[in-house]
Amino acid sequence: MTKKLLALYGLKWNPFAPDVPVEALHVSRRIESFCWRVEQLVGEGGFALVTGVPGTGKSVTLRILAERLGAQRDVKVGILTRPQAGLPDFYREMGDLFSVELRPTNRWGGAKLLRDRWQTHIDAALSRPVLIVDEAQEMLPTVLAELRLLSSAKLDSHILLTVVLAGDGRLLERLRSDELAPLNSRMRVRLALERATPDELTELIGHALQKAGAVKLMTPELIATLADHAQGNPRALMNIAGELLSVAAQREVRQIDNAVVIEIGGDRLLTPEAEQDGRVGGIDDPVTVQVPESRSHGDGRPVENEPPGFLDTVRVHPRSNDRRSVGRYRIHLAQFPAGDGVVGTHLANHFGQRSQPVSSLPQDRQQLLRCQRTGGP
């Protein structure tokens, strides 16, 4: 984000970018607990595991953990950048990470040199090694098995290396295989990340704005709408908010609210990437409602029996017992200016015939009808 855009909103950085400072990341209680347990584990060595579907915070958790461990003088943190590599490249990178010159063709010699270096540093109280691997589902089973053998000494009674693996469901499947069962049984600390609740996502985006220095950049109503549409996926939330911020900045909008979303074609923005590609569990295809245009004589009396034109189409989800539909419905409430109530009546009739709304939807429908009649809420 350019300096001009940062200045427009008084931002220290883009609050929705993936490279925000670690100190600005939101740390939930579960992530805090996981990091604390891993910090205790480092003193003894062993394995830790972070799992979750894409976008739920695995990489963020590793960033927070790496920052905390790296701040300790007696810990040496190495982050594996090529998890898909075979054994020769794996040993070559391990040598680079822990400053040991290795010959990739000599697997036994490489393992011995690494273990000797780690043991020497541990005995001298210089440092304890920690290896962090993101996207660990890409690792070959042979490399995962090698990690187990590499980390232990003295008939598995002395653990030299702490390893933190993070991956999606494919990693869990591999660990459940017979080949990797010995490694799976050695996982001493586990964190299974789940979809966030709308309240948690609301807290997440509020925290991001506060740390970036623009608490009032988005209205509470918009934040609630974004949280509804992110489907429990923090990355989807940040992607939506980031794109919305970019478009709003281009138009030099000072505060972003639901009306701005509608003005810029927000229905596209409010369909997260994760929903589009099916990774977060998509929802039913939307129903397109054509809204008749209001026509009247010069004295204001409506024209009867005239084929209506169409002001716009409204995309609403028939499965409106889903919270996500509530947020999308709220967006469409504001899409039509105050007028004669034709739009509100049409939508109300449609929902009454086609869905079983959740408890909050009737209030939304009444709000729409009131806006159509009075020109405001």
Chain position carrying tokens 């950049």:
217
Q: Is residue 320 part of a domain?
A: yes
Question: 175 and 311: one domain?
Answer: no
**Residue ranges making up the domain that contains 348:** 285-377
124: in domain = yes
Asked if residue 257 is part of any domain, the answer here is no
Number of domains present in the structure of the chain: 2
How far apart are alpha carbons 31 and 58 in whole angstroms?
Answer: 10
In a domain, 164, yes or no: yes
Residue 202 lies in a domain: no
Residues near 128 by Cβ (< 8 Å), separated by ≥ 6?
A: 42, 43, 45, 74, 75, 76, 118, 121, 122, 162
Question: Could you give the angle at the alpha carbon of 91 between the alpha carbons of 65 and 51, nearest 5°?
Answer: 35
Q: CA-CA-CA-CA torsion for 347, 353, 359, 364, nearest 10 degrees?
A: 10
Among 192, 226, 259, which residue terminates a domain?
Answer: 192
Position 13 in a domain: no
Nearest in space to 123 (alpha carbons), one of 97, 96, 153: 153
Report the predicted TM-score, pTM, of the whole model to 2 decimal places: 0.71
Q: Using H for helix, E for strand and C for coil, what is the string for 284-324?
A: CCCEEEEEECCCECCCCCECCCCCCCEEEEEEECCCCCCHH
State the pLDDT at residue 33. 97
Asked whether the CA dihedral 277, 280, 283, 288 is positive or negative, the reply is negative
Tokens of 114: 């690494």
β-pair partners for 77: 130
Regions of the chain where pLDDT drops below 70: 1-2, 103-109, 122-125, 155-157, 263-377
Per-residue model confidence as pLDDT tens digits over 318-372:
333 343 443 444 434 333 333 334 444 444 444 443 333 323 334 444 344 333 3
153 within a domain of the structure (yes/no): yes
- Segment 33-48, tens digit of pLDDT: 999 999 999 989 999 9
**How much is the pLDDT for 156?**
67
Given a contact cutoff of 8 angstroms between Cβ atoms, the answer to whether 213 and 12 are in contact is: yes
Please tell me whether residues 184 and 59 are part of one structural domain.
yes
Q: Which of 151, 169, 192 corresponds to the end of one domain? A: 192
The b/e string for 146-184 (b: 16+ C-beta within 10 A; e otherwise) is bbbebbbbeeeeebbbbbbbbbbeebeebbeeeebeebb
User: Which of 170, 192, 214 is where one domain is finished?
Assistant: 192
User: Mapping DSSP to helix (H, G, I), strand (E, B) and coil, where does residue 339 land?
Assistant: coil
List the Cα angle 145/46/26 in 5-degree steps.
110
* pLDDT at residue 336 in the model: 37
Instruction: Specify if 36 maps to a domain.
Output: no
The whole-angstrom separation of Cα 64 and Cα 13 is: 18
C-beta atoms surrounding 251 within 10 Å: 10
Q: What's the pLDDT score for residue 184?
A: 95
